[in-house]
Amino acid sequence: MVNEENSEMQSSYNEKDKIVLELMDSTDSYLLLMNSLSSSLREGWLELASARHSMGASRISSALFDLKSHSAATTLQLNHQDAGPKSEESHFSLCKWASSESPKSCSEEAKFEEDKLLQKKSNSPKVLNQDGSSNSVLEEASEVPEATESPRTVEDQARKERLKSLSVFGVLVCPKLRAAQSSFETALETLVEVANKRADLLNAYDQVREKTESATN
């Protein structure tokens, strides 16, 4: 009887230690991401200041911004994932550089649609020709346009949108301005990672609090 109680206590302690270690690990990762975010933003602002100094204040000014209403080139998506019987976790994902002609498209969606199309092709029935060769039904439907773009096309689209966003500052822009754009894009990606890690941190904290309250009662 005593051995069973000791075994249960030891198992409870191990579970508490695991949760506390997850909380500490999430806290450490969160602080590292915040430091990386601060570094990316600092680098971006310095490069932007350098570009403004090289090109002149009149070339890089808020007066040149297009204030007309237009679709966002980058959006944030929120997904909810099950984290247990009583809770769920929020997961953020970034959809970058959607085409101005097709605002709903982004690299992640294009990759998902491409994988789905390839799977549909592999599972589609085959049609036997008179010469013995076989073609899939999807290949026979040549009038149906392709649903997605290739990864190469998506990358070219992102590059095109990056250049388009800088075109407001002129045809020939300073390399420092392109570097600043890259730094701020990196900072945006890091900010999404910070949001996801913060959600993990809060979830781990709630678990530690529940274990502490159950132990004191």
Where are the chain's structural domains?
2-60+70-105+149-216
pTM over 0.75: no
The pLDDT value given to residue 210: 84
What residues in the chain have per-residue pLDDT under 50?
A: 85, 107-118, 124-128, 133, 136-147
Contacts of 105 by beta carbon, 8 Å cutoff, 6+ apart = 98, 99, 149, 157
CA gap 126, 112 in Å, rounded: 24
Exposed e or buried b per residue across 23-59, where buried means at least 16 C-beta atoms within 10 angstroms of its C-beta: beebeebbeebeeebeebbebbeebbebbbeebeeee
The pLDDT value given to residue 194: 94
CA gap 33, 61 in Å, rounded: 31
Tens of pLDDT, residues 167-213: 878 878 889 999 999 999 999 999 999 999 998 888 888 888 887 87
The pLDDT value given to residue 151: 60
Contacts of 127 by beta carbon, 8 Å cutoff, 6+ apart = 134, 135, 136, 137, 140
Phi, psi angle pair for 141, to nearest 5°: -85, 70
The pLDDT value given to residue 16: 77
